[in-house]
Amino acid sequence: MSVRPPTIPSPPPVRPGTARAALAQRGFRIVFLGSFASSIGTWMQSVTLGAYALELSGSPTFLSLVLFAQLGPMLVLSVVGGALADVVDRRRLLIAAEIEQMLASAALALLVAGGDPSEGALLAVVALIGIGSAIHMPTFSAVLPTLVERGDLAGAVSLSSTQMNVARVVGPALGGLAFAAFGAQSVFAINAVSYLFVIAAVLAVRIPPVLAAPDDLVSGWGRLAGGFTVARHDPLVRRCLVTMATFALLCMPFIGQMPTIASRNLGIDPSSTAYGLLYTCFGLGAIVGAVSIGTFLAGWSRPLLVRQGLVGFAVSLGVFAALRAPAPAYGVAVVVGFFYFAMVTALSVVLQERLADAVRGRVMALWVMAFGGTIPLGLLVAGPLAERTSISLVMGYGVLAALVLAGYARLEEGKEVAAGPRAPPVATTGPPALCDPPPGCP
C-alpha cells in the first residue's frame, strides 16, 4: 500500500490592487526601497529644520517663512516639472532634481556648521531645496504608476504613502538623536548623503518612455497649462484637486506649527525627546492610515473613505486643539494622523486611476501644488495668527474646513459627469482611455 505524500497547500493568490501585489513587481520594489531611504533623510532634515528655525529666532512667523521657502516653489515650479515630465526622459529629470537637492542640503549643512547663520542665507538655501523638490515630486508621481500594472495602482499609491509616513516616524526619531548629539549640521549632511539611494534606485530600473496622445500637439504655454485644461473639462479631476488644495491651505498648517502646539499648548520643549515622540505618534497614525487603503480597506469605496476620513480628521483635530496636557496628546495624535493620511491616500488613488499616462505629469503637478504648494500660503497666515492669538484658533478653522469638504467631496458624482462630450482628447474621459499603453508595459 503506497502512502501518498502530504499535499503542500499552494500560497493564496495575490489579490490585485493590494500593497503585496505592487511590491511583487521588481521595478516598483527597487524604487520603493531607494525612495524610502531618501525619505528618512528628508524627514530628519524637515523636522530638525523646523525646530532649528524656532530655536534660532524664537518666532513662529520665521518658522512659517522657513517652511514657505521650502514648499513655496511648488506653487509655480511644479507646473514646469509636470510639463517636463510629460516631454523629457523622466529618469534623467529625476536624477537631475535629486542631485540639485543633494547639493543644496550639503550647502545647508555647511551654512549651519559656521554657527549663527544669517536668516536670509538660511531662507535662500532652503528655497533651493524647495526648487529641486518642486521638479522631483510631479515627476516621481508620474513615474510611480508606470512601474506597476494598472490594477495594482491602489496598492502602489498606498505603499508610496506608507514609506513616506514610516520615514516620518523613523526620520524625526533619528533626527532628534543626531540633533541633540551632534547638532543640526549633522542632520542636514545625512540628508544630503541619503539622496544617493534614490539616484541608485532610479538608475537600476527601466522607466517606460512617455508616449504622448495622438492629438496632444500643444507646446509652450499650452503644454504648461495642460493640467489645468484636463481639470477644467473633467469634474472628477477638478473636485479631487479642489478638495486637496483647500484641505492643505486650511487644515494642514497645524503640521508645520507642531513645535508651536507642543510648546504653547502642551508644555513640551520642541528640542526634547518628548516632542520627537509626539511627532512619532502622529506619523504612526499616518502610517496605519496609508497602509489601510492597500490592505484591510482595499475593498471599500474610496470616495466614501475620502468623506469619512475628512469627518474623522475634523473630530480628532478638534480634540487635539482642546488638549492642554501632554499625556493624552500622544494617543490623539495617532488618531489625527490616521484620518489625515487615509483620506489623502484614498483621494490620490481616485485621481491616479482617472488619468491617462500622456497627461499624468501635468495633472500630478497640480496635485503637488495642491498638496504641498498651498501649505506655505496657509502657514503665512497661521504663523502670525498663532503669534497674536493662539495656535488653537488655527486648528479650529481647520476643523470647520474639513467638515465643509466632507460635504463637497462627492467623487462618485464626478465619475458620472466626467464621461460627458466636453472632455478634450488628452484627458481621460472614461475607463477605455485610461492608459495607452498600460502602465508597466515594456
Does residue 10 have a pLDDT over 70? no
Does residue 77 have a pLDDT over 70? yes
Does residue 83 have a pLDDT over 80? no
Phi/psi at 59 (nearest 5 deg)?
-125, 125
CATH of 19-210+221-425 among 1.20.1250.20, 3.90.700.10, 3.40.50.300, 1.10.760.10: 1.20.1250.20
- Cβ atoms of 415 and 353 within 8 Å: the answer is no
d(C-alpha 128, C-alpha 145), whole Å:
28
Categorize the per-residue pLDDT at 6 as very low, low, confident or very high, splitting at 50, 70 and 90.
low
What's the half-sphere exposure (Cβ side, CA atoms, 13 Å) at 346? 31
The pLDDT tens digits of the residues spanning 119-167 come to 889 999 999 999 998 888 888 877 877 787 777 777 787 787 777 767 7
C-alpha cell at 29: 520594489
Percentage of residues of the chain with pLDDT beyond 90: 30
d(C-alpha 371, C-alpha 213), whole Å:
27
Query: At 111, which amino acid appears?
Result: L
Does residue 406 have a pLDDT over 80? yes
Highest mean pLDDT among 18-32, 117-131, 264-278, 420-434: 117-131
Average pLDDT over residues 357-382: 79
Q: Which helix (H) or strand (E) holds 411?
A: helix 411-417
- Cβ atoms of 283 and 339 within 8 Å: the answer is no
- Domain ranges in the chain are 19-210+221-425
Does residue 336 have a pLDDT over 90? yes
pLDDT reported for residue 107: 94
pLDDT reported for residue 178: 84
Max distance between CA atoms of the chain, in angstroms, equals 89
The pLDDT tens digits of the residues spanning 280-322 come to 888 889 888 888 887 888 878 889 999 999 999 999 999 999 9
Nearest to 78 by CA among 374, 434, 380, 356: 374
pLDDT reported for residue 368: 78
Residues 6+ apart with CB under 8 A from 406: 307, 310, 311, 314
The pLDDT tens digits of the residues spanning 412-437 come to 755 543 333 333 333 333 332 223 33
Does residue 59 have a pLDDT over 80? no
The pLDDT tens digits of the residues spanning 381-393 come to 888 888 888 899 9
Q: Pick the range with the lowest mean pLDDT from 64-78, 101-115, 318-332, 378-392.
A: 64-78
Residues 6+ apart with CB under 8 A from 50: 63, 66, 67, 256, 258, 259, 270
Q: Pick the range with the lowest mean pLDDT from 35-49, 139-153, 255-269.
A: 139-153
| Total residues found in the chain within this entry | 442
Q: How far is residue 97 CA from its own chain's centroid? A: 17
Categorize the per-residue pLDDT at 338 as very low, low, confident or very high, splitting at 50, 70 and 90.
very high
pLDDT reported for residue 238: 92
Q: What is the DSSP string of 44-80?
A: HHHHHHHHHHHHHH--HHHHHHHHHHHHTTHHHHHHH
Q: In whole numbers, what is the pLDDT of the chain averaged over residues?
A: 80
C-alpha cell at 201: 534606485
pLDDT reported for residue 158: 77
- Cβ atoms of 131 and 73 within 8 Å: the answer is yes
Burial class (CB in 10 A: 0-12, 13-18, 19+), 3: exposed
Cα angle at 89 between 88 and 95, to 5 degrees? 115
The pLDDT tens digits of the residues spanning 214-243 come to 444 445 455 566 778 888 889 999 999 999
- Cβ atoms of 9 and 3 within 8 Å: the answer is no
Residues 6+ apart with CB under 8 A from 43: 167, 168, 170, 171, 172, 175
Does residue 249 have a pLDDT over 80? yes
pLDDT reported for residue 326: 92
